[in-house]
Structure 1
Amino acid sequence: MSTPTLINEEYDIVIAGGGTAACVIAGRLAAADANLRVLLLEAGPTTHNDPAHTQPLSFLSHLAPGSRTTRAHVSQPSTALGGRTTIVPSGQCLGGGGSVNFMMYTRPSASDYDDWETVYQNPGWGSKYLIPLLKKIETYQAPGGGPTHGTDGPLGVSRGGFFSDLAGQFLQVARKLDPDRAQKPDDADTNDLETINVYTRWLKWINAETGTRSDVPHNVIYPLKDTRPNLHILTGAHVKHVTFDDENHATGVAYTLNPLFHPDGPKDTRTVRGTKLTLVSAGAFGSPGILERSGIGAKDVLERVGVKQRVDLPSVGENYQDHNILFLEFFAADEAQTMDAIFRNEEGALDVVAAEFGKSRKEISMHNSIDAGIKWRPKPSEVAELGPEFQEYWDSYFANAPDKPVLWIGVGSAFIEDPTLVPRRKYFTLAIFTEHPVARGHVHIGHADDVSAPEDFVPGYLESKVDVQPLTWGYKFAREIARRMPHFRGEPPVLHPAFSQSGPAAVVAHAEGPISFDAPRIVYSEEDERALEAFARAIVATTWHSLGTCAMKPREQGGVVDPRLNVYGVRGLKVADLSIPPSNVSANTYGTALAIGEKAAVIIAEEFGIKGVV
């Protein structure tokens, strides 16, 4: 690895960004060819052997105020959200989101990747091409498994080291309440890219043998530091823009040192050459920003901040997508197994976990509080319940893709949002997010030169009624599950809709126990429905799954890169990260970022004649 004074003036490949995909690309190429000089520039810090990154249960520390491993992106006020702004964090450290995320192991449906190939005209990007790359990166350590899973990759996939009683109750109640969904054993493989509608235990990117987070830096990058001196990594380096020659051929990047991590370092702008390739891999927020500061983008966007246009590519920064989530909190019984004390670090609770780390493979430190869930697709009768606007979307998008779920619904054994905002006690959370929202947003630079300046960011949350209806239906269904779980002890009134207190939907602030399993389902009045929609608009949030802002599709259809990841209108410049998906995936996005990194490494190796990257 490198310090600022040891960076060479030129490399064969310069990679702008050091997130999940970037680390996969750098690691695979450097390992395959010891003579290939690779430089990776990351804006955030190193993560090497830092317990905040290696110990799974420490993940929420990265979302704490003042975190230096994430960057907060603040949106414009949204009328769809009652005039409020939203904040979307992204990883800013070596490994990016994969070094700070919830470690949820969720694969999309095969048709999601197939859409990339067929609908958006990207040969080689369908599921049959990406499944071998998904297998390559993982070692599947959970029960069951099947032919789509890997057995000798660098990243372990397991159940973690703990299974809470709340998760067990969620599965028991949901399966009984919803018997028409597939009934499969807990060791059934629900991440084979085709199985949906199964209530099951949820897997994690946690290595069962070491008990650590399965991130790319510790499992791909850091092991190379003594054997591959051709790989240089500079952390704390803000990439400002790409440099070009007079023929619009990318020649490298200009960067400055991040004063957070180099407070005594030089303040000047430096350049480094990429003699064979310049690769932008800074994520859904960072990559369009680098392109726009380089003069690649829409003329009006660039003129607004004083950047001279080099290439007219108006879709840079457009097509922003995320999954829209509701966190529904409930009071839990005193005897429930929750992570609340640990997340609040009550009386050194996290210190006790850290002290026990590594002593047992069944410990609570190998946990993220989320143990069970379902990729939910409605039955015909439920489609009608979702509303007429959704019915039209269903007919045009979902009906002919039977592997596509509409929602993810799951349970967390804690108050998953900021636990310092609520009284100290035990909670559980049911989370609901939409897998394929309709609305799109954008991310554009707010300054020509300052990489830390706030962006012009519009997430698009709930701007379409189609995106509201699954969430409100999901709230009602999840509430029926929660109220029947044995550890249910009430609904915090300020964290639920303002339902009529004289009707059956009234919030139950305190409960001695669950309702009868055979109790009728709640009937919501028109007033209640309005309160529920207002509630959804008031609390809907990011699922930290930002993608799509440098979409891979034909230029005339709003594309930014082609199927070989080349940026339209210039030469020697590629983009490879979660900014390139042209459409969403029905899953947490870490696995897709890994697949993009593997695919990009294969493409670059083919072009350079490098063997051993397949």
Structure 2
Amino acid sequence: MSTPTAINEEYDIVIAGGGTAACVVAGRLAVADANLRILLLEAGPTTYDNPAHTLPLNIMCHLAPGSRTTRAHISQPSAALGGRTTIVPCGQCLGGGGSINFMMYTRPSASDFDDWETVYQNPGWGSKDLIPLLKKIETYQVPGGGPTHGTDGPLAVSPGGYFTDLGKQFLQVARILDPDRAQKPDDTDSNDLETINVYTVGVFRRWINAKTGTRSDVPHNMIYQLKDTRPNLHFLTGVHVKHVTFDDENRATGVAYALNPLLHPEGPGDTRTVRGTKLVLVSAGAFGSPGILERSGIGTKDVLDSVGVRQRVDLPGVGENYQDHSVLFIQYFAADEAQSLAAIFRNEEGAIDTAAAEFGMTRKDVSMHNAVDAGIKWRPKPSEVAELGPEFQEYWDSYFANAPDKPVLWMGISSSFVGDPTGAPPRKYYTLGFYNQYPLARGHVHIMHADDVSAPTDFVPGFFESQAEVRPLTWGYKFLREIARRMPHFRGEPPMLHPKFAPSGPASIIAHAEGPVPFDAPRIVYSEDDERALEEFARAQVGTCWHSLGTCAMKPCEQGGVVDARLNVYGVHGLKVADLSVPPGNVSANTYGTALVIGEKAAVIIAEDLGIKGVV
């Protein structure tokens, strides 16, 4: 492996994008065939041995203004959000989102993958096919891992550094507050894909290696260590892939690229090309992959005509079907003695050492924590379905009712401050977050410039255009608020970070509380005015969970698909897409694990196509 400043003119495989799935494909194929010449082109910087990527507790630096490891996509204003835009930061570094994310280890429900196979007509993509690949990628460092977990894969899964008292309180209260639905032990595995784990109240596993205390990402565990053994694998960072090149028979022959001006302020220089004789693989994510296709003339005519790109293939699904998990993060004041990592997330000097001393932990224990301890996969009871309104009832009947393993909400605690801290006093906090697992929202991502990769996109996330998406989140706010105010470390609410309820009403009473209420305290009753205030707040605050997917969907062309079950782009030859742009439907999980299994499956498919042994 090398990182040449001057790359070769020709490779067997050229991979446009260097995120999670791309790195899995490159690593697996390079090891399987030492003679296969592979080039990986990434827009962002390398991540090698950089503490910002390797140390788990450094996660927030990637969301700070001016970050060089993310690219922010700003949506069109949305009437459903009161005219507000949405900002979605995406990983832009070698490893992509898997090298900057919160390291949450969650797997989809089995029916999510089964839907890919049956509903969207993709043979070989069901849960029975993908579980072996999920096992292949992981070393499960958790005692009692079942048969669906791996023991010798390149990426480690562990409980992380420690478990905060705030996380323990969240678990305790959640189990007491709704005991008839929370009978499973706290260590129940909600990621085995064999049992139905909805309303599972439990602790989280993390993509963190318990032995080294470092993030488990693909570059550090599948790419960088090939330097001396696989000189056939090259990667080049800091370059933008502009478009795919083709011959007269619509066969992909390579890509055109230029320097990324963010990392090369001396200027992008001339556009260069590199040939891919056997395959061009586009793997630039839910935002990047449709852009590369559209700049290559693959997409709907209206979009291409608007920017002056000659259409090569009429493929209306390119850039459509955008999906995310719509999320709210709600902050609460914590007691001075709470094991909160808020000071570390504020980047206060010496905060890690102070926390280690205060919590009786080692510095390593604190450093390998991501502050997310526990959570709930929630599926409503019949009475709660009715509470969520007629729009949700219709959605429930058509989608959830016959899929008992599909939860409606994820809810969890972060022992920190997650969100914009502007105006919030510097003290201890905890945050309760919750997102729609299968929101109805469908948006799009399209190019607005024929050649400039850095140009803004025409981006519409589609959040909250249906009440069936709004009502679960307003329900989640009320339910988690009941948990929050019963936790022993509860010390009230930051008023500026909660809905503006009527000052004299019961919904506003806990804003000024100085401590928790008893477990048997009556639940808060919300008036119609309170419900309106809560919905207004939700529309003003809802945002991305950084789980963008679906914009080059793997489904039949006539249904808006972009790639087939072999990941081939319709209408051309020698061109595949493999990343989070290909899932045709959403998944009830943080999406890193899904990106990994897409990479593993893509490596198997490509190896089969090229007759390469050893990738199974």
Please, what TM-score do these two structures have when normalized by structure 1?
0.98
Matched, 1:553 2:577: no
Alignment of 1:350-499 (within 5 A): 350=352, 363-499=365-501
Matched, 1:26 2:47: no
Instruction: Write the deviation string for residues 176-197 of structure 1: whole angstroms up to 9, x where unpaired.
Output: 0010113222332111123221
Matched, 1:537 2:530: no
SS in 1 for 2:23: helix
Instruction: Write the deviation string for residues 375-430 of structure 1: whole angstroms up to 9, x where unpaired.
Output: 11111111111111101110110000000000000001011113354210111110
State the Cα distance separating 1:494 from its structure 2 match: 1.2
Evaluate the alpha carbon distance shift between residue 270 and residue 562 of structure 1 in structure 2; reply closer, same or farther with a 3 A threshold: same
Instruction: Write the deviation string for residues 154-192 of structure 1: whole angstroms up to 9, x where unpaired.
Output: 110011011110000000001000101132223321111
Q: 1:241 aligns with which of 223, 243, 266?
A: 243
In structure 1, distance between residues paired with 2:510 and 2:372: 24
In structure 1, distance between residues paired with 2:3 and 2:564: 34
| Preserved CA contact (<8 Å) 1:485 1:514 | yes
Residue in 2 that maps onto 1:126: 126
Matched, 1:271 2:273: yes
Instruction: Write the deviation string for residues 127-174 of structure 1: whole angstroms up to 9, x where unpaired.
Output: 000110000000111233211100100110011011110000000001
State the Cα distance separating 1:2 from its structure 2 match: 4.1
The CA RMSD over aligned residues, in Å, is 1.6
1:127 maps to a residue whose letter is S
Residue in 2 that maps onto 1:84: 84
Evaluate the alpha carbon distance shift between residue 256 and residue 351 of structure 1 in structure 2; reply closer, same or farther with a 3 A threshold: farther
SS in 2 for 1:610: coil
State the Cα distance separating 1:510 from its structure 2 match: 3.1
In structure 2, distance between residues paired with 1:322 and 1:265: 34
State the Cα distance separating 1:347 from its structure 2 match: 2.6
Evaluate the alpha carbon distance shift between residue 266 and residue 169 of structure 1 in structure 2; reply closer, same or farther with a 3 A threshold: closer
SS in 1 for 2:482: helix
In structure 2, distance between residues paired with 1:433 and 1:265: 41
Matched, 1:136 2:136: yes
1:406 maps to a residue whose letter is V
2:605 maps to a residue whose letter is I
SS in 1 for 2:385: helix
In structure 2, distance between residues paired with 1:4 and 1:507: 62
In structure 2, distance between residues paired with 1:118 and 1:491: 46
SS in 2 for 1:199: strand
| Preserved CA contact (<8 Å) 2:300 2:316 | yes
Alignment of 1:219-368 (within 5 A): 219-264=221-266, 267-350=269-352, 363-368=365-370
In structure 1, distance between residues paired with 2:143 and 2:509: 40
State the Cα distance separating 1:346 from its structure 2 match: 1.5
Residue in 2 that maps onto 1:60: 60
In structure 2, distance between residues paired with 1:285 and 1:84: 20
1:474 maps to a residue whose letter is G
In structure 1, distance between residues paired with 2:494 and 2:527: 21
In structure 2, distance between residues paired with 1:276 and 1:361: 49
In structure 2, distance between residues paired with 1:96 and 1:256: 19
| Preserved CA contact (<8 Å) 2:4 2:234 | no
State the Cα distance separating 1:536 from its structure 2 match: 0.6
Q: 190-199 vs 64-73, which deviates more?
A: 190-199
Q: 1:510 aligns with which of 509, 512, 526?
A: 512
Evaluate the alpha carbon distance shift between residue 570 and residue 152 of structure 1 in structure 2; reply closer, same or farther with a 3 A threshold: same
Residue in 1 that maps onto 2:96: 96
State the Cα distance separating 1:502 from its structure 2 match: 1.5
Q: Please, which runs of 5 or more residues in structure 2 have no aligned partner?
A: none
Instruction: Write the deviation string for residues 353-379 of structure 1: whole angstroms up to 9, x where unpaired.
Output: 899xxx959611111110000111111
Evaluate the alpha carbon distance shift between residue 507 and residue 101 of structure 1 in structure 2; reply closer, same or farther with a 3 A threshold: farther
1:191 maps to a residue whose letter is N
Residue in 2 that maps onto 1:200: 202
State the Cα distance separating 1:73 from its structure 2 match: 0.3
Instruction: Write the deviation string for residues 469-528 of structure 1: whole angstroms up to 9, x where unpaired.
Output: 100111110000001000111111111111111111115333221012111111111111
| Preserved CA contact (<8 Å) 2:188 2:200 | no
1:343 maps to a residue whose letter is F
Residue in 2 that maps onto 1:176: 176
1:64 maps to a residue whose letter is A
Matched, 1:149 2:149: yes
| Preserved CA contact (<8 Å) 1:493 1:507 | no
| Preserved CA contact (<8 Å) 2:2 2:227 | no
State the Cα distance separating 1:229 from its structure 2 match: 0.1
In structure 2, distance between residues paired with 1:37 and 1:353: 48
SS in 2 for 1:14: strand
In structure 2, distance between residues paired with 1:143 and 1:499: 46
Residue in 2 that maps onto 1:107: 107
Please, what TM-score do these two structures have when normalized by structure 2?
0.97
| Preserved CA contact (<8 Å) 1:326 1:433 | yes
Count of aligned pairs: 612
Q: 516-525 vs 445-454, which deviates more?
A: 516-525
State the Cα distance separating 1:550 from its structure 2 match: 0.1
Residue in 1 that maps onto 2:167: 167
| Preserved CA contact (<8 Å) 2:378 2:409 | yes
| Preserved CA contact (<8 Å) 1:41 1:234 | yes
| Preserved CA contact (<8 Å) 1:144 1:189 | no
Instruction: Write the deviation string for residues 299-329 of structure 1: whole angstroms up to 9, x where unpaired.
Output: 0001111111110001100000000001011
In structure 1, distance between residues paired with 2:7 and 2:417: 44
Q: 1:609 aligns with which of 592, 608, 611?
A: 611
In structure 2, distance between residues paired with 1:510 and 1:380: 34
Residue in 2 that maps onto 1:50: 50
| Preserved CA contact (<8 Å) 1:106 1:591 | yes
Q: 254-263 vs 150-159, which deviates more?
A: 254-263
| Preserved CA contact (<8 Å) 1:75 1:86 | yes
State the Cα distance separating 1:4 from its structure 2 match: 5.3
| Preserved CA contact (<8 Å) 2:507 2:526 | yes
